[in-house]
Structure 1
Amino acid sequence: MYRLFAKILAGLIATVVLAVGALALVVSYNAACEPPPPAADGASSFTAVMQRCYGDADIITVETVAKPELAESDVLVRVHAASVNPLDKHFLHGTPYLLRLVNGLNAPQSPRMGADFAGVVEAVGSGVTRFEPGDAVFGVANGAFAEYVVRSETGGMALKPANLSFEQAAALPVAAITALQALRDKAQVQPGQHVLINGASGGVGSYAVQLAKAMGATVTAVCSGRNAELVRALGADRVIDYTQQNYTEGDTRYHAIIDMVGNHAISDILGVTEPDGVLVLVGSMKIDPWWGPLARPLHAVVRSPFVSQRLESLLAMTTAEDLRALARYADAGQLTPVIDQRFTLAEVPEAIRYLERGRTRGKVVVSVVP
């Protein structure tokens, strides 16, 4: 009886291993790029950046496509500027592979690229009441690397801050909302608390420094020495050059640590976090091809019951309400985007390559309307 049970168990294990292996082969396979359809002609067409397969920046194309028909609640926006996020390179490569379960197994379901945009409303559906033609707006939409995007009026879009250019406004949505939700919702920062931002000169980090100051915190920024003056200008009270000093070996204790880099063990970071403090995990330098940014948060979940500090991970969600909150910070002069480099639509491959080098100061912007 025992031998029979052992054989059945071994058979089940072998079946699971074979199934997982087969799934791995299927999910990690990159289909060949499909040729684009014939270009759309006439006044109803526009230019858009596309990826018709998974791969590196060489597979990106710029195509002429037809303007979509507007549904009752849709808003058509003439894009003036867009910005590049790490999310764009993940969609380009199709990694982590779990992403493909929702984005398309061997090729993307939607070939359009880009998320952050800012522009002017050109037309609205018959049922739209929140926006009208001529409104300057910013937000997140599928296919932002293009001359036009379509967004539902109830989706992630808001009126552009009056004191920001279109390029600056396009640099806000994904990165600034990530910083806002990390500080406000996860860390629950209060005036007078000491907050450390690891990765303070990057896209999310440059916003986190400013927002933490706006919330009344004392801010320590961790970055390279070449970016020290930048983060001081953003409001950091203290700057640590990570090439010269390991912040986890210091004597200072922090109520909240917002980690965009993941270059230190969680146990080491908790060593400089107040016993009742919080560590918010936003990003990581090392991305597992399967689990991607989920690997480190899963580690935190396992460790959480055994420590006094709160361990929080963040999957930011773009909402119109939070976009309006960012606009209020910008209008009050408390939030100014840092733009590192500007590229054109035709240069989107170069923009993504530049981002992948991992040394950006603030945001990389795509200028659509000069």
Structure 2
Amino acid sequence: MKAVVQDRFGPPEQVLRVTETDRPAPGPGEVLVRLRATTVNTPDWIAVAGVPYVLRASARAKGAIRGTDIAGTVAALGEGVTAFTEGEAVFGTKWGAGFTRAGTFAEYTVTAADQLLPKPAGLSFTDAACAVMSGLTARAAVAAAQAGPGTRLLVNGASGGVGTFAVQIAKHRGAHVTAVCGPANLDLVRGLGADAALDYTAADFTAGAERYDAILDNVLNHRPRRVLRALAPGGVYLPNSVGNTGGLLAGLAKMGAASLLGALGRARVATVDGNFTPERLAEVAGLITSGAVTPVIDRVYPLAETPAAVARMYSHRARGNLVITMDDDEAAPR
């Protein structure tokens, strides 16, 4: 099968290559999936670039196949799997099953059967792939923010994969949403329903007079102490990034500082638990099929152009999700 294999840490277009490799076989309780679509997420560029450096020991570069989101059809069933049939359309993840070196930047992948769901007929493979990590993370953040009528939520980094989902899900729940992004994406986030859109190059939300009941921080471009100034009394801070900088720790230091402030009682700081459960993914899929939420897709790449897709994610300029497809007829941008 064709797969995108990593040779070492570094710039994606220099360290990733498309090659032929053996098709994995499902073990007991596992499913072999013929992939139709997957997405590029933050953990992928982190693992490819090896940033922050402290994570390199656990990421292992040589021979790795990255990617975790699954949307495709069942190609074979491992021993004991009775919930699916060959040829059935499914979607899900490898993340909750334990991130292995045989990821989803390939024509086939294997995952545990309990990490998959039947794909609804009204959900395209591309949208199904977007629903997994980006959709689940956004859903978890909005739930942790307790977003609803009367709640004021600020989303920092609102134009990315998680951010575009979070804006829509929070608005669907009735929250007042302020979206922070670059000037080129202000119209995008307004179109998703944001009540207010702030250009981070022209306004610093941490220095303004507005106070928010929850702040979802997908960027960590401010020190946590500054962000807490923008919280209303009793508000919750949701740090969700390793940051855009390199070095030994990158944004991990800010994540640690935020956790410490929470532990010291300086503010409510919550972890965004975007892990897979069948119920959570079914909820996200339902929001999409009902029309309440629309996955924002920046670009769609064929498998052969995966290095460029990861480089696009690494540039931190993607508007929404980056999708990789295995079939030429699905590779055209939309």
- TM-score scaled by structure 2? 0.88
**In the alignment, residue 15 of structure 2 is paired with which amino acid?**
I
CA–CA distance in structure 1, aligned partners of residues 243 and 20 of structure 2: 36
Aligned with residue 76 of structure 2, among 108, 123, 148: 123
CA–CA distance in structure 2, aligned partners of residues 293 and 176 of structure 1: 22
Moved over 6 A (4+): none
Aligned with residue 111 of structure 2, among 151, 158, 161: 151
Compute the displacement of 1:208 (Å): 0.7
Query: Which consecutive unaligned segments of at least 5 residues does structure 2 have?
Result: 95-101, 329-334
Aligned with residue 231 of structure 1, among 170, 189, 192: 189
Aligned with residue 55 of structure 1, among 4, 7, 10: 10
SS at 2:270's partner residue?
A: strand
Residue pairs, 1:275-286, within 5 angstroms: 275-286=233-244
> 1:146-204, CA deviations, whole angstroms, 9 ceiling, x for partnerless residues?
1111111112x2222433321122122112211112221x3233432111111111111
CA–CA distance in structure 2, aligned partners of residues 62 and 284 of structure 1: 28
Compute the displacement of 1:54 (Å): 2.3
**In the alignment, residue 129 of structure 2 is paired with which amino acid?**
A
1:139 maps to what in 2?
Answer: 92
1:168 maps to what in 2?
Answer: 127
Q: Say whether residues 1:265 and 2:223 are aligned partners.
A: yes
**In the alignment, residue 88 of structure 2 is paired with which amino acid?**
D
CA–CA distance in structure 2, aligned partners of residues 237 and 343 of structure 1: 32
Contact 2:296 2:319 in 1 (8 A): yes
CA–CA distance in structure 1, aligned partners of residues 25 and 203 of structure 2: 56
Instruction: Identify if the C-alpha distance between structure 1 residues 319 and 53 changes in structure 2 by more than 3 Å, giving closer, same or farther.
Output: farther
2:99 maps to what in 1?
Answer: none
Aligned with residue 194 of structure 1, among 149, 152, 157: 152
SS at 1:144's partner residue?
A: coil
Which one has a bigger Cα radius of gyration? 1
Aligned with residue 138 of structure 2, among 171, 176, 179: 179
SS at 2:166's partner residue?
A: helix
Q: Percent identity?
A: 39
1:75 maps to what in 2?
Answer: 31
Instruction: Identify if the C-alpha distance between structure 1 residues 100 and 249 changes in structure 2 by more than 3 Å, giving closer, same or farther.
Output: closer
**In the alignment, residue 92 of structure 1 is paired with which amino acid?**
V
2:315 maps to what in 1?
Answer: 357
Q: Please identify, of 169-178 and 66-75, the stretch whose mean Cα deviation from structure 2 is larger.
A: 66-75
Instruction: Identify if the C-alpha distance between structure 1 residues 329 and 92 changes in structure 2 by more than 3 Å, giving closer, same or farther.
Output: same
SS at 1:82's partner residue?
A: strand
Root-mean-square deviation (CA, aligned residues, Å) is 2.0
CA–CA distance in structure 2, aligned partners of residues 92 and 301 of structure 1: 26
Q: Say whether residues 1:348 and 2:327 are aligned partners.
A: no
**In the alignment, residue 2 of structure 2 is paired with which amino acid?**
T
CA–CA distance in structure 2, aligned partners of residues 226 and 55 of structure 1: 28
Instruction: Identify if the C-alpha distance between structure 1 residues 241 and 56 changes in structure 2 by more than 3 Å, giving closer, same or farther.
Output: closer
Q: Please identify, of 203-212 and 242-251, the stretch whose mean Cα deviation from structure 2 is larger.
A: 242-251
CA–CA distance in structure 1, aligned partners of residues 135 and 262 of structure 2: 27
> 1:72-101, CA deviations, whole angstroms, 9 ceiling, x for partnerless residues?
312111111111112111111233233233
**In the alignment, residue 123 of structure 1 is paired with which amino acid?**
A
Aligned with residue 114 of structure 1, among 41, 59, 67: 67
Contact 2:244 2:316 in 1 (8 A): no
1:33 maps to what in 2?
Answer: none
Larger relative contact order (CA 8 Å, sep ≥ 6): 2
Compute the displacement of 1:268 (Å): 2.3
